[in-house]
Amino acid sequence: MTIPALPAPDTAWLETLDRPALHRSVSQRVESAFRLCRELHPGLPRPAVWLDLRGKCAGQAHFGRGGLRFNPLLLEENRLAFLVEVVPHEMAHWLVHHLEDGHRARPHGHEWQTVMRRLFGVEPRTTHRFDTQRASPTPYRYRCGCREHGFSARRHRLARRGQGYRCRHCAQTLVYLGCSAS
Ligand SMILES: [Zn+2]
Ligand SMILES: [Zn+2]
């Protein structure tokens, strides 16, 4: 057993929040997690927070954009899990990435797991059982030089097997944006 290092959210209070307040609660949770990380790594930059993720991904650490993205649709229906698991999950990616040599670490490898357990007191899991029925039929996010693309599960499988896809607009090969919590 580990001791939770982030305070347990009040479930009843969480359910009463309207959308702006709910989004603020995510930002505040990121801030609390960030302060814990700062104790370990004083030079850690503060991540921006966006609630603009679609599809099956609950959250994503986006190092190019310099912040953490969360899925507002999944947040709405999984409020507690977001604060207790998804925010620490993405924050742990953020921290590990900024540690010396951290960008070479495997995404859910030893470093990430240690941060989850020791710093946040959360059992490290890589997947969530969220109801994604309302999510898009093309949930896998890919990026080229000019925009984001959504792939279906079938297309995503082909891409993973080596089938290359190019953007019709900028001709760049599409790169999977990943999805750290799905
Ligand atoms: Zn493009
Ligand atoms: Zn992850």
- Here the contacts of 123-132 (C-beta below 8 Å, separation 24 or greater) are 123/2, 124/92, 125/85, 126/180, 126/181, 127/181, 127/182, 128/58, 128/78, 128/81, 128/85, 128/86, 128/181, 128/182, 130/56, 130/58, 130/74, 130/77, 130/78, 130/81, 131/77, 132/55, 132/56, 132/74
Residue 177 Cα to ligand 2 midpoint, Å, equals 12
Q: Is the pLDDT of residue 11 over 80?
A: yes
Which ligand gives the minimal distance to the CA of 86? 2
From the candidates 76, 85, 90, 148, which is the catalytic residue? 90
pLDDT, average across residues 149-164: 87
Instruction: State the pLDDT at residue 94.
Output: 95
* CA distance linking residue 62 with residue 39, whole number of Å: 22
Q: How far is the CA of 149 from the centre of ligand 1 (A)?
A: 9
**What is the reported pTM?**
0.74
- Per-residue pLDDT averaged across 120-148, rounded? 74
List phi, psi (to 5°) of 114. -65, -40
* pLDDT confidence bin for 86, thresholds 50/70/90: very high
Clarify whether 100 is annotated catalytic.
no
pLDDT of residue 77: 86
178-to-60, 100, 133, 139, 175 alpha-carbon distances in Å: 8, 22, 20, 11, 9
Q: How far is the CA of 169 from the centre of ligand 2 (A)?
A: 30
Classify domain 11-119 by CATH number: 3.30.2010
Domain-wise residue ranges, the chain = 11-119
